[in-house]
C-alpha cells in the first residue's frame, strides 16, 4: 500500500506506475482515492473545529450559570448555549461515523493500488518479458534419456501418488525411503546453511489471522492461494514469510536492533487453482509442501543491499549442490502489487533442456510495513516505516526435481552432492530398495 501523500502530491506518478504494470483498469482508483481522502479530511477538520467550539462553549456555560445567580437573564442565555452544544454533539457523532466510513472505504481502495516499482525493473506485460541477468554453472544435457521426476522417484520406491489421492485427492503425495530422507536432508542442510550466514532459525505458526493475511498480500492473492479454517478467523499459511512478517504487526522496532535476519521452516498450503501442463504435474505444483525461507526486516536505505544478498544466497546454496542456475529479473507486469522489485532463481532441468523456477526473491519496500504498522524508532525518537524482504531458501519438491535430474547417472543411480552426505548417513549415492 502506497503513502496517501503520493495521491495528494503526485497522482500522475501513481497513474504512470499503474500503466507500467499494465493494470489500466485500476487507473480510476487514483481519483477515487483522492475523492475519499478529501471527504475524510473535510470530516476530520469539521469534527476538530466542533470539538474546539464545544470546549469554548462549555466554559461559557459555566460562566453564564455563575452569573445567573445575580442576573436571571443569564440562565436563559446559558440554555441557548447548551442547545448549541447539543446540536454540535449530534453533528460530531455524524462526522465520527463518516470519518470511520471514509477511512474504511479509502483503505479498501488504497489496498488495490500497486506499490511504486523500482526504476530498475524491466517493463513488460507478463513473465514472457522477464529478463535473464546471469547464469551460474554450466548447464549439461547428458547423452542418455532422463525420465520424468516422479518416474525417477518411483524407481526408488520413493513416492506414492495414488495412495495420496485416495487419502487427500490430487496435489498431494507420500514420500518414502531414501527420497523422503533426501527431502529432509535438503531442508536440514538449508537450515544450517542459513544459520551459518548469521540468520536466526525460526519455526513460526502455520496459521494466521485474516488481518495478517491482508497485511502481507493482496486480496486477489489471498483468494487464489489461501485455505481458510471454517468458522474461525484463521488461514493456513502459503509460505512462512507471511506469519514471520505478521509477527511484527503494530510493533515499533528499535533502530539499533536492525537488521533482523531470519530463516524459517514451515509446511505450506496452497489452493493452486487452475489447470497446469505436464511440467507442473508430479510434485512441481502441489497443495502441500515444506519450505525453508529467508526474511529480512531492515531500514529503508538497506533494503537494496539485502535484496542482493538474499538472491546471492540462493545461488550459492544451489551451486553447492552442483545444480546450475540463472537469475531472472521479473518485469513490471509479473510483479505482485506489493513488490518493489523481484527476481527468480531458476534451476537447470536437463530433461526439459530449460530452466524452471526454484526461488523467488522480493523487496516489498514499506508495503507490508504500512499495512501492518511495522515501524522503526531511531535514537532521536523519530519513527518511520520498516522495509521487508523475503526469498525462498529451498522448497524441496522443486529442489528434488533439480537435484535428481542433475545428479542422475546413466545406470539410474543418483549421486548425492558432497554437502548432503552428512545428512544422508554418509551415503554417496541412492540405492534402489524393495517395494513397500
Asked if residues 188 and 421 have their Cβ atoms less than 8 Å apart, the reply is no
What is the average pLDDT score of the chain?
A: 91
Query: Residue range 2-14: average pLDDT?
Result: 97
Q: 248 pLDDT exceeds 60?
A: yes
3-state secondary structure of 139: coil
Express the helix, strand and coil content of the chain in percent, nearest 5 each: 50, 20, 30
Task: Read off the DSSP letter of residue 322.
Answer: T
For the whole model, what pTM was predicted?
0.89
φ, ψ dihedrals at 347, nearest 5°: -95, 150
pLDDT digits (tens, 9 = 90+) for 378-405: 999 999 999 999 999 999 889 999 999 9
Question: Which domains does the chain show, CATH number per domain?
Answer: 4-110 (1.10.287.40), 127-430 (3.30.930.10)
Task: Read off the DSSP letter of residue 432.
Answer: -
Report the 10 Å Cβ neighbour count for 145: 7
**From CA 326, how far away is CA 138, in angstroms rounded?**
10
Crossing angle of helices 177-196 and 396-406, rounded to 10°: 110
pLDDT digits (tens, 9 = 90+) for 123-178: 999 999 999 999 999 999 999 999 999 999 999 999 999 999 999 998 899 999 99
Report the 10 Å Cβ neighbour count for 276: 12
- For 143-225, where are the E strands, in sequence order? 159-160, 174-175, 200-202, 207-208
Q: 214 pLDDT exceeds 80?
A: yes
pLDDT band of 80, cuts 50, 70, 90: low
Cell of 272: 493452486
pLDDT band of 433, cuts 50, 70, 90: low
pLDDT digits (tens, 9 = 90+) for 325-367: 999 999 999 999 999 999 999 999 999 999 999 999 999 999 9
Return the H-helix or E-strand segment holding 256.
Answer: none
For the sheet containing 131-136, what is the strand order? 131-136, 325-329, 341-349, 354-363, 387-394, 288-298, 260-269, 200-202
**From CA 392, how far away is CA 357, in angstroms rounded?**
11
pLDDT band of 278, cuts 50, 70, 90: very low
Amino acid at each position: 500500500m502506497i503513502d496517501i501523500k503520493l495521491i495528494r502530491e503526485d497522482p500522475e506518478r501513481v497513474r504512470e506506475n499503474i500503466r507500467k504494470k499494465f493494470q489500466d483498469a485500476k487507473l480510476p482508483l487514483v481519483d477515487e482515492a483522492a475523492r475519499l481522502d478529501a471527504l475524510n479530511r473535510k470530516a476530520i477538520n469539521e469534527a476538530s473545529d466542533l470539538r474546539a467550539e464545544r470546549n469554548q462553549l462549555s466554559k461559557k456555560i459555566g460562566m453564564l450559570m455563575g452569573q445567573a445567580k445575580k442576573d436571571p437573564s443569564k440562565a436563559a442565555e446559558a440554555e441557548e448555549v447548551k442547545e448549541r452544544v447539543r446540536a454540535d454533539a449530534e453533528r460530531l457523532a455524524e462526522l465520527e461515523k463518516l470519518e470511520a466510513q471514509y477511512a474504511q472505504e479509502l483503505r479498501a481502495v488504497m489496498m488495490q493500488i500497486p506499490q511504486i516499482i523500482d526504476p530498475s525493473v524491466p517493463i513488460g506485460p507478463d513473465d514472457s518479458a522477464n529478463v535473464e541477468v546471469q547464469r551460474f554453472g554450466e548447464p549439461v544435457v547428458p547423452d542418455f534419456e532422463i525420465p520424468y521426476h516422479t518416474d525417477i522417484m518411483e524407481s526408488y520406491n520413493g513416492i506414492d501418488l495414488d495412495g495420496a489421492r485416495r487419502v487427500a485427492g490430487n496435489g498431494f503425495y507420500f514420500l518414502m525411503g531414501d527420497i523422503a530422507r533426501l527431502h529432509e536432508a535438503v531442508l536440514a542442510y538449508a537450515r544450517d546453511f542459513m544459520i551459518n550466514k548469521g540468520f536466526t532459525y525460526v519455526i513460526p505458526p502455520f496459521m494466521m489471522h485474516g488481518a495478517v493475511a491482508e497485511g502481507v498480500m493482496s486480496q486477489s492473492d489471498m483468494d487464489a492461494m489461501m485455505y481458510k479454517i471454517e468458522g474461525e478467523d484463521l488461514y493456513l499459511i502459503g509460505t512462512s514469510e507471511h506469519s514471520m512478517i505478521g509477527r511484527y504487526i503494530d510493533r515499533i522496532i528499535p533502530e539499533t536492533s536492525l537488521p533482523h535476519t531470519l530463516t524459517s521452516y514451515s509446511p505450506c498450503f496452497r489452493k493452486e487453482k487452475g489447470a497446469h501442463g505436464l511440467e507442473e504435474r508430479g510434485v512441481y505444483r502441489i497443495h502441500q509442501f515444506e519450505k525453508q525461507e529467508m526474511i529480512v526486516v531492515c531500514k529503508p536505505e538497506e533494503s537494496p543491499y539485502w535484496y542482493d544478498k538474499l538472491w546471492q544466497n540462493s545461488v550459492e546454496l544451489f551451486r553447492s549442490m552442483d545444480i546450475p542456475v540463472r537469475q531472472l529479473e521479473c518485469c513490471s507486469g509479473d510483479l505482485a502489487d506489493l513488490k518493489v522489485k523481484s527476481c527468480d532463481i531458476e534451476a537447470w532441468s536437463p530433461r526439459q533442456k530449460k530452466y524452471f523456477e526454484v526461488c523467488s526473491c522480493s523487496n516489498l519496500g514499506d508495503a507490508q510495513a504500512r499495512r501492518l504498522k511495522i515501524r522503526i524508532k531511531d535514537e532521536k525518537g523519530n519513527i518511520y516505516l520498516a522495509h521487508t524482504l523475503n526469498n525462498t531458501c529451498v522448497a524441496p519438491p522443486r529442489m528434488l526435481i533439480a537435484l535428481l535430474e542433475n545428479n542422475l547417472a546413466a545406470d539410474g543411480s543418483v549421486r548425492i552432492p558432497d554437502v548432503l552426505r552428512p545428512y544422508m548417513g554418509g551415503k554417496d549415492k541412492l540405492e534402489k530398495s524393495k517395494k513397500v
